[in-house]
Amino acid sequence: MFHLYVDPELLAYEALTSFDIDPRHIDLMDLTFCDDPAMAMIVRGGVLPLNWQEKSDRVALDAVCKLLIHRILKSHNRQARQETVRGGLSPSVRRRTADYIDANLDQALTLDRLAREAGLSTFHFAKMFRVSFGMPPHRYVAARRIEQAASLLRDRENGLAAVASACGFGSQSHFSKAFKAATGVPPGEWRSLQ
C-alpha cells in the first residue's frame, strides 16, 4: 500500500504547465486500492530505494514525485481528453513571437521564455507554435540564427566570432559546426562563395 499526498497548488501547477489543463477542471478518480502497474513501478524503483533524510536523495525523490503527479494527471483525471490540436497561435501572437525571436537571437531563447512572451502555458505554446510554424520552437530559432548569420556573413567586415556572438552561439566553433550542418559548408567557405 502506498499513500501519496499532493499539495493542491503543486497539482494545479503541473496540470497547467504540463497538460494545459485548467486546474478548475481537474477531476481525479478515486484511486483507493487501485492497481496501477506504471505507478507501482515508479514507486518500487524510484521512491522506496531512496531516503528522505539524505540530502542527496531529496532532489531525486522530488523528481519521482513529479513523475507520479504526471501519471495521475494523465491517466486518472476524468477531464483529461485527447483533443485534436487545431488552430495555432493567433496572428498577432504569431507575429509578436516571430518578432521577439528575431530581435533576441543573441540571447538564450528558452521555451519557457517564449511561452511567457506569448502569454501562454509552456505546453500550449509548444503545441500551437508547431501548428503555426510547422516546426518546434527550437528548430525555428536555430533556422533563424543560421539565416541571420548568413546575412551578417555577406558583410566581409564582420568577423566569424562577432557573427557567432550576434546570432546567439556560445562559441565560434559551435557556430561553425551548426552553420556547416545547415548549409553544407563552413561559414568562411560560404562567405567566399558569395
This model's pTM is above 0.85: no
Q: Which residue has the higher pLDDT, 5 or 162?
A: 162
Under DSSP, the state recorded for 24 is G
CA distance readout (Å), 52 to 2, 57, 99: 15, 6, 46
The grid cell for 71 is 501519471
3-state secondary structure of 78: coil
Domains, the chain, in order of start with CATH, read 8-75 (no CATH), 86-194 (1.10.10.60)
Q: What is the pLDDT of residues 43-79, one digit of tens each?
A: 888 888 888 788 777 788 878 888 888 888 888 887 6
Exposed, middle or buried by CB within 10 Å (0-12, 13-18, 19+), for 105? middle
